[in-house]
Amino acid sequence: MPQLLIKGGRVIDPASATDKLADVLIQDGAIAAVGAGLAASGAEIFDAHGLIVTPGFIDMHVHLREPGFEHAETIETGARAAAAGGFTSICCMPNTLPANDNATVTSYIVERARKLAVTHVFPIGAITKNSAGEELSAIGSMKAAGIVAISDDGRPVMNARVMRRAMEFARSFDLPVIDHCEDLNLSAGGDMHEGFESVRLGLRGIPASSEDVMVARDILLAELTGARFHVAHISTRHAVAMVAFAKQRGLPVTCEVTPHHFALTDAGMRPYDSNYKMKPPLRTACDAGALVEGIVAGAVDAIATDHAPHPGSEKMQEFERCPFGIIGLETALGLALEHLVHTGKISLARLVAMFTTGPAGVLHLDRGTLAVGAPADVTIFSADLEWTYDVNQSFSKSRNSPFDGHTFRGGPVATIVDGAVVWRRD
C-alpha cells in the first residue's frame, strides 16, 4: 500500500472551494485524505512548505505528433514535457499521420500512452475523415476507444452543413466539438495578424475577422443543434465577446486561451522569427487585453497550450515558409502567473481553476479535484520561485519556443500522477 504524504502546502482545490494550509495523503493512487496535521506511518513525505498543492493540471490542447511525425515529438517526450510543466493530463489533437479519425488509431494512441507516457493522455478524435472537412469520421467507436472530444484542429471544417451534422452527431455521444475557428478563405496565404505590423513588415495578414466569422457561425450552429461547442485558442476581442454573449444566453459554449496569446502581441514579436509564428497569430495588444479581461470576467474556461512541436529544420527558414506553432507545455504556468496573477488580475484559486476544473468541465473528465477517492493527480508549484527557461533542456523533442531565456517568477515544482512523482524540479 504505497503512501505519499504531502506536508504543509497551501492546498487550493477549486472543485471544493478549498484554499488553506493542509496536508494531502495519497494511498494506492487515490486521494485518501486532505486535512491539517495528517500522519501516516511509513508514508513517503513530500515537504510542500511554501508551495501550492492543487489537483493535477489538464492541458486540453496539445499536439503529440505520434503517429507519423515522431521526429518532432512522441507521446513519450510530449508527456515528459507536460509533466515538467505541471500537467498530469493532456489531450492530443488528431492531426497525426494517419489522422486519429477511427478507433484503431485512437486505440493505438491510448495503448502507446499507457506504456510510455508519464501523464494521462486523452485523445481527441477528428470530426471528419482525414480532417478533410467532408465526411464524418467514426465518432461513436472512437468514443468507445477513449476520445474525449472531436476536432479538426488545424484544418477547420469550412462547410457549415458538415459542421452542423458533426455537432448533432457529437451531441448523441455527449462529446464536445472543439473548433479551430478560422475561415480559410479569409486567412489564405497569411503569415501573421493582419494589421499595422503586417503592413510594416511586408508579411501577408490573417485578419481577426477570419476567426470571428467562424466563432459566430459555430455559436449559431451550437444553438441550432444543442451541441457543446468549444472554441480552441481564442485570440480576438470580438470572439471573446461573442462567447461571453453566448454564455449569457445559456448556450453550452466554452473557450480556451493559450498563454502566448495573452503574453505576446504582434508588435512585440521579434521580426521574421518563426518562433513567433502560430495560428491563430499573435494579435494586437488590444486583443491580448481582451483575453485577460475575458479570463477575469469568466468568459474563458481554460488555459491550454496548443503545444505544437516542429523540428528546427522546419522552423529555421524564411518566415513565410515555416510551419505554424510553438511548444508551450513547460512555460504555461510561468506565463499565466506572470500575466494573470502577479499583475493582480485573478486570484491563485482562479488560475488553478483554469488549469483544472475549467478543462475538466469542458470535457466532462473525472479529474481536476482533490476529493477523497479521486485519482491522485497532483500538481505542486511555487508562485515565487525564480527560474529561467532553457529550451535546450526541454523534454520536448522540439525547440520552437519564443520564451527561451525568459526568467519566470513561479513555476511547477513537482508533478504527481496516480500517486507517483513523475517529475520534480532539480
Residues labelled as active-site residues: 306
Supply the minimum distance, in Å, between the C-beta of residue 426 and other proteins.
31
Nearest CB to other proteins, comparing residues 173 and 272:
272
Supply the minimum distance, in Å, between the C-beta of residue 195 and other proteins.
6
Which range touches other proteins (CB under 8 A), out of 4-12, 35-43, 266-274, 382-390?
A: 266-274
Nearest CB to other proteins, comparing residues 2 and 271:
271
* 2 contacts: CB under 8 Å, gap ≥ 6: 27, 28, 44, 419
CA 17 to chain centre: 23
Using CB under 8 A, pick the residue from 86, 123, 195, 411 that binds other proteins.
195
Q: Are strands 177-179 and 407-417 parallel, antiparallel or unpaired?
A: unpaired
Interface with other proteins, residue 316, by CB under 8 A: yes
Phi and psi (nearest 5°) for 33? Answer: -165, 150
Nearest CB to other proteins, comparing residues 321 and 364:
321
Binding residue count for other proteins, defined by CB under 8 A: 19
Residues 103, 108, 110, 111: is their CA dihedral positive or negative?
positive
Q: Which three cell numbers stand for residue 40?
A: 501516516
- Alpha-carbon gap, residue 34 to 400, rounded angstroms: 39
Nearest CB to other proteins, comparing residues 41 and 313:
313
Tell me the C-alpha to C-alpha distance, in Å, between residue 377 and each of 21, 24, 57, 279, 415. Answer: 19, 11, 8, 31, 8
HSE-up (13 A, CA, CB side) for residue 396:
27
Nearest CB to other proteins, comparing residues 50 and 268:
268
Supply the minimum distance, in Å, between the C-beta of residue 306 and other proteins.
24
Using CB under 8 A, pick the residue from 40, 201, 241, 421 that binds other proteins.
201
Interface with other proteins, residue 19, by CB under 8 A: no
Nearest CB to other proteins, comparing residues 20 and 200:
200
Interface with other proteins, residue 313, by CB under 8 A: yes
- Alpha-carbon gap, residue 76 to 49, rounded angstroms: 31
Interface with other proteins, residue 392, by CB under 8 A: no
Using CB under 8 A, pick the residue from 71, 107, 238, 319 that binds other proteins.
319
Interface with other proteins, residue 320, by CB under 8 A: yes
- Alpha-carbon gap, residue 368 to 377, rounded angstroms: 8
Nearest CB to other proteins, comparing residues 144 and 199:
199
Supply the minimum distance, in Å, between the C-beta of residue 380 and other proteins.
38
- Alpha-carbon gap, residue 384 to 368, rounded angstroms: 23
Phi and psi (nearest 5°) for 228? Answer: -80, 125
Interface with other proteins, residue 196, by CB under 8 A: yes
Supply the minimum distance, in Å, between the C-beta of residue 397 and other proteins.
19
In terms of Cβ atoms closer than 10 Å to its own Cβ (0-12, 13-18, 19+), residue 320 is middle
Asked if residue 253 lies in contact with residue 247, where contact means CB atoms within 8 angstroms, the answer is yes
**DSSP helix/strand/coil, 34:** strand
Residues 268-287 that bind other proteins (CB under 8 A): 271-273
Per-residue contact string for residues 321-340; x = within reach of other proteins by CB under 8 A: x-------------------
Cis ω before 123 (30° cut-off from 0): no
The residue ranges that bind other proteins (CB under 8 A) are: 188-189, 195-196, 199-203, 271-273, 313, 316-321
